Amino acid sequence: MSTNIPPISVQLYTLRDACQEDFDGVLTQLAEAGYAGVEPFSLFGKSPDEFCRQVQDLGMQVSSSHFPWTNRTENLNEVVETIQALGLTRAPGGFAPDDFKDRASLEQTIATTAELADALKPHGLTLFLHNHYWEYDLIDGRPAYHYLQDAVPEVEFEIDSYWAANFGRCNPAAEITRVNRRVPLIHVKDGPLIKGLSHVAVGDGKMDIPALFAAADPDTLEWAVVELDQCDTDMMTAVTRSYNYLTSNNLAHGNAIQAAAVVAIGREAEALTRYPGGLGHQRLRELMAQREGQREGVTVDPEHLIITNGSMQAVTLTAQALMENKGDTVLVEEYSYPGTLSAYRGIGLEMVGIKLDEGGMRIDHMAAELARLESEGRRPKFIYAISTYQNPTGFIMPRARRLEMIELAARYDIPIVEDNCYADVHYEGEIEPALFALDDNPKHIYLGSLSKILAPGFRLGYIYARPPMLEKMLAHRHDAGSNYLASAIAAEFYKDGIGAHAAVTNPVLKIKRDLTVNGLANHLDDICVWSNPAGGLFVWVRMPDDVDRPKLWQLAQDNGVAYLPGVAFHYANRNKPYLRLAFGHLTEDQIVQGIPVLARCIREARTSNEARTFHSLFEEED
């Protein structure tokens, strides 16, 4: 059973009109959308070598070809020459409705198929057949295609899933299962399953797409080929949406987690009978050390990593290890993650908020607050900072400011607790090194999480701490270790590293980020300002002061839109005119439809119609 989505190609027949007008532009758009390959039905006047070179120059491959098509031996030489020149080992074939209309025509089709397969074999080519719906019409109570599949076992199949559904009369997943060791290609389509009606973007119709890949054999399936014969919307938009759906977390991600769970349980069943120990699952620690080391360019010792039950345990455990008494002081960003703020309040820490700007914590304000607290005999026990894609603002602290912060903390001999859970969610530009990569101070503590790149339900985080801080963390751990099963599944899921997974999911998230900020620009540009983060999962919005915040909250609830108000992020619970939008878990349609609704709610909640008096998120902020 396949549990992952293979590389994704597109049948160029889908974009036939656009290809005739601007073939080069179509290929470029497909590469930018993320497609790994194309399946031609024509070479558009190019030689096979020219066609391949142009595709490869854009970082794609020719996954397979429907040109030249064969259902007879007369054009065999053309087929062999072209397919080999394209660098392929499979030649395409298929038949017309009359070839499956009755028993006699079926027998002739079977004979022709066997003849074609035999003729291609000396040339090192395998025949693969692409179906339409008529192959699944019944002959003597059985789908006609079944007779052919059984009679010619050397033939492979590109199952066209939509046509295999035969407008709801067949189960395409079952058809794939039937010959899954002979299905290297699946044509992925979607639509209403009603004859005569247009196709839609994959994921928007009635097809059970995940079932197709669950039915396939993972060792055989090589490509998922998107094809839409006709569509009532812009075809390139539908093709892009199809790719985004196939690479979304809910599809590929969920299937891969299921597979990892099966392997992990089988391999580590005996270990589940024991407590995991204070550091946690060894292989997961090794993988997280590798993850941080590769991204940050430093050596990370897995023996200095502690796997925790979620990032909040890491936050709380670190604070408990560093504080001495209730009422101890900690420096935090003025606006920060609500979970951390709640945890610190719960264990009795007194928070001092440091003002923010577009570069994160303002070092001038931090220096002033440290001097004030020092004069009062209240040196903070530590500084908590989200320096990369800060929550809620999404901003990233520049390298120069990071070095200033490290120097200031060292001057006062204060540990830094760095929460870097969003660093892998990166869209564009240069990513700054983590604070710990710039600072060899053993008091520096680093927190990570798998929630943003794997799944929040796993409840897995980690602490990286050098001795003697490592021992202080372990001394305050009283739960006998983190969830070993969840850790084992995560380790199996990421056995080949995290980078490949992020390379698939981040482009999808970037599209959602773009839709969010573009929607705000279209509907709120005259009264609001907002962040445009280069990574992370949030957009921070500043509204006019005259927005009635309780009224806005109620209007949003009544109209089915959701946000988190600024008060949830303020260290002192001050209700300032901000809100945070989280786009990662939403569909593109939800974002496009939701932003105008939220904009109407904001306008309705205003108590005046005065023009905006601010031009940045933090300008004139008290």
HEC secondary structure over 375-391? HCCCCCCEEEECCCCCC
**pLDDT for the residue numbered 501:** 63
**CA torsion 367→368→373→374, rounded to 10°?**
60
3-state secondary structure of 464: strand
Q: What is the pLDDT of residues 367-378, one digit of tens each?
A: 999 999 999 999
State the average pLDDT for the chain. Answer: 90
Q: What is the pLDDT of residues 262-309, one digit of tens each?
A: 778 888 877 877 887 888 889 899 989 988 888 888 888 999 999 998
Which of 2-6, 332-336, 459-463 shows the lowest per-residue confidence on average (mean pLDDT)? 2-6
**pLDDT for the residue numbered 431:** 85
3-state secondary structure of 603: helix
Residues 6+ apart with CB under 8 A from 173: 208, 211, 212, 214, 215
Tokens of 270: 């005996």
Report the C-alpha gap between 606 and 599 in whole angstroms.
11
> What's the rounded mean pLDDT across residues 377-390?
96
pLDDT band at 505 (very low <50, low <70, confident <90, very high): confident
pLDDT exceeds 90 at position 218: no
Report the C-alpha gap between 48 and 33 in whole angstroms.
24
pLDDT band at 18 (very low <50, low <70, confident <90, very high): very high
pTM for this model (two decimals): 0.65
pLDDT exceeds 60 at position 530: yes
**pLDDT for the residue numbered 85:** 96
**pLDDT for the residue numbered 455:** 63
pLDDT exceeds 70 at position 256: no
Helix axis angle for 16-33 and 48-57, nearest 10°, is 40
**pLDDT for the residue numbered 133:** 95
Domain 8-246 has CATH 3.20.20.150: yes
Greatest C-alpha distance within the chain? 99
Per CATH, the number for 501-604 is 3.90.1150.10
Percent with pLDDT over 70 in the chain: 95
**pLDDT for the residue numbered 79:** 95
Q: What is the pLDDT of residues 95-110, one digit of tens each?
A: 999 999 999 999 999 9
Report the C-alpha gap between 239 and 226 in whole angstroms.
8
Q: What is the pLDDT of residues 189-213, one digit of tens each?
A: 999 999 889 999 998 889 988 888 8
> What's the rounded mean pLDDT across residues 122-126?
97
**pLDDT for the residue numbered 476:** 86
Q: What is the pLDDT of residues 308-330, one digit of tens each?
A: 988 888 999 999 999 999 999 99
Give which of 435, 329, 352, 327 is closest to 386, Cα–Cα. Answer: 435
CA distances from 11 to 65, 199, 243, 460 (A): 8, 14, 13, 40
> Is beta strand 445-449 parallel, antiparallel or unpaired with respect to 416-419?
parallel
pLDDT band at 622 (very low <50, low <70, confident <90, very high): very low
**pLDDT for the residue numbered 453:** 65
Level-2 CATH architecture, domain 261-496? 3-Layer(aba) Sandwich (3.40)
Report the C-alpha gap between 148 and 139 in whole angstroms.
12
For the chain, what are the domain ranges?
Answer: 8-246, 261-496, 501-604
Any idea how long the chain is?
622
**pLDDT for the residue numbered 253:** 52
pLDDT exceeds 70 at position 252: no
pLDDT band at 621 (very low <50, low <70, confident <90, very high): very low
- Asked if residue 332 lies in contact with residue 571, where contact means CB atoms within 8 angstroms, the answer is yes
pLDDT band at 500 (very low <50, low <70, confident <90, very high): low
pLDDT band at 2 (very low <50, low <70, confident <90, very high): very low
Q: What is the pLDDT of residues 428-463, one digit of tens each?
A: 988 899 998 998 899 999 999 887 666 666 788 999
Strand partners for 126: 90
